[in-house]
């Protein structure tokens, strides 16, 4: 699978997908858990470059953020609110890490290269792009950055877009973004990209996993009249087993 994030490609479902988030049933509060993640080619993790500044605590994460704004860019008015996601209570209080209009990357976008205090168990950072002098966010959403094994991450973000991109192309990979158990025999799945034949490639695996009877597009546009081809309702031939851990995969190719 070619690689967060957000566009239709012919290689959309060339390899198996699963989604890293786990969700319990929302409507029926079923104890069954669904697991979804993207299985992509494994690449080596290189040691991070030395981050700007020094770490004020025993351990820090190295974070590089590239920020693209529309004209006027006014980068000097903006910054990042950063924190260790699920970090220890004794970590320093969060503050705004500023962007500067004269600190730009090779594309001319603002860049922050910083160290964020973390505790040993932390694997993610929280991030909010906001104005330096007021709580005005660029997209009203708290974002979460996954750290690699070196406690490092480099991401690209852009104005009015909540996605955290992995490179300067701002391309969203094929992913399963979310899922919920709607009833004892139905699962709603949300894809990152529209896919015309996605219903043909779903499978459910795990102990006691039920077979799939059908996968149909959900009409989620124009007042429920048309489908974006991003949301699908999977119907199973038998009840979803209680207390089980199931994986929903998709391996089809979009023609």
Confidence of residue 5 (pLDDT cuts 50, 70, 90): very low
> Is residue 189 predicted with pLDDT exceeding 70?
yes
Choose between 47 and 102: higher pLDDT. 102
> Is residue 201 predicted with pLDDT exceeding 90?
no
Quote the pLDDT of residue 165. 95
- Mean pLDDT value across residues 164-178: 88
Confidence of residue 254 (pLDDT cuts 50, 70, 90): very low
Choose between 198 and 130: higher pLDDT. 130
Residue range(s) in the chain whose domain bears CATH number 2.60.40.1110: 60-158
- Mean pLDDT value across residues 87-95: 93
Architecture field, domain 17-40+173-250 = Sandwich (2.60)
pTM for the complete prediction? 0.65
Burial 17-40 (b: 16+ CB within 10 A, else e): bbbeeeeebeeeebebebbbbbee
CATH topology assigned to domain 60-158: Immunoglobulin-like (2.60.40)
With residue 48 as reference, give the H or E element that holds it: none
Confidence of residue 209 (pLDDT cuts 50, 70, 90): very high
């Amino acid at each position: 699978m070619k690689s967060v994030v957000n566009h239709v490609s012919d290689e959309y479902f060339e390899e198996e997908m699963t989604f890293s988030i786990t969700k319990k049933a929302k409507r029926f509060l079923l104890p069954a858990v669904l697991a979804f993640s993207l299985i992509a080619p494994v690449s080596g993790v290189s040691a991070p470059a030395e981050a700007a500044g020094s770490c004020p605590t025993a351990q820090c994460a190295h974070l590089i953020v590239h920020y693209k704004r529309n004209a006027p860019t006014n980068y000097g008015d903006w910054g990042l609110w950063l924190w260790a996601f699920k970090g220890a209570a004794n970590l320093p209080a969060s503050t705004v890490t500023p962007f500067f209009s004269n600190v730009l990357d090779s594309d001319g976008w603002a860049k922050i290269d910083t160290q964020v205090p973390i505790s040993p168990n932390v694997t993610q950072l929280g991030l909010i792009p906001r104005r330096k002098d007021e709580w005005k966010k660029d997209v009203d959403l708290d974002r979460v950055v996954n750290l690699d094994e070196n406690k490092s991450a480099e991401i690209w973000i852009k104005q009015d877009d909540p996605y955290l991109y992995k490179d300067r192309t701002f391309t969203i990979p094929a992913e399963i973004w979310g899922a919920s158990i709607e009833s004892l025999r139905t699962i709603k799945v949300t894809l990152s990209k529209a896919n015309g034949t996605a219903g043909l490639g779903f499978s459910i695996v795990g102990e006691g996993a039920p077979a799939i009877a059908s996968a149909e597009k959900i009409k989620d546009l124009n007042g429920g009249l048309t489908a974006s081809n991003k949301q699908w309702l999977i119907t199973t031939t038998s009840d979803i087993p209680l207390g089980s851990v199931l994986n929903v995969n998709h391996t089809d190719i979009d023609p």
